[in-house]
Amino acid sequence: MAYIFNITHEILPPPMGDIEYVYNDEQIIVVDKPANMLSVPGRTPDKKDCLIHRVLKHFPEARIVHRLDFSTSGLMVIAQNRASHRILSRQFENRETEKTYVAKVYGQPEQAAGMLNQPLRCDWERRPLQIVDHQLGKKALTHWRIVERLENSCFVELSPTTGRTHQLRVHMQAMGHPILGDELYAHEAAYSMADRLNLHAKELIINHPTENSRLTFSSASVPF
């Protein structure tokens, strides 16, 4: 298969929309990131525009807790201070958060739902690509279910238990149903079926850093 290794854009495409502010209080900010926006700045001067820099203009003490890929859209939580950042970071490390994504994938899986338990590691010769490696890879677990079947594709809901780099993208590729518009892992047919990566973080569940409450945030809509 011929994959679209468009890894290092000379000029990054512009964001597909602006940041949507979903919620904020003295401890946290929840945002909906558009596709084609870095979560944090890149190494070169032309890649300084990013989500956290834009958020800092409105919330000067904001601190990044976790990231979404440049091409992935959806919900992120940002800390308002050092203490909240420490608590939220620990939640992600200990897998106390819950994340649900929606994706549009190529073809039709035979089953309606399932689990992908395939260890992943960096493909060092082709960084930042990741690959399945049952000997050297780190544990990666994804639950999936079909939401809607279409003619040549389907909507699936993806719930990762672990948070490996590109986990959902590699798992769907390994399953034989790459995410549409994926410039890293989709074959040409799947890549050409969408004008963006069809992956969106639609729901995020966290424990509030200072209140004894479990909070659920959901995107108002799916942007593809």
Burial (CB count <10 Å: 0-12, 13-18, 19+), residue 55 = buried
The active-site residue, picked from 18, 69, 123, 195, is 69
Residue 123 annotated to the active site: no
Distance CA 131, CA 171 (A): 9
Residues in a beta bridge with 199: 103
Closest by CA position to 29, among listed 73, 88, 69, 72: 88
Rounded to an integer, what distance in angstroms lies between the CA atom of residue 42 and that of residue 49? 8
Q: Which two tokens stand for residue 147?
A: 């939401």
**Kind plus residue range of the DSSP H or E element containing 203:** strand 199-207
Q: Is 200 helix (H, G, I), strand (E, B) or coil?
A: strand
Which residues belong to the active site? 69
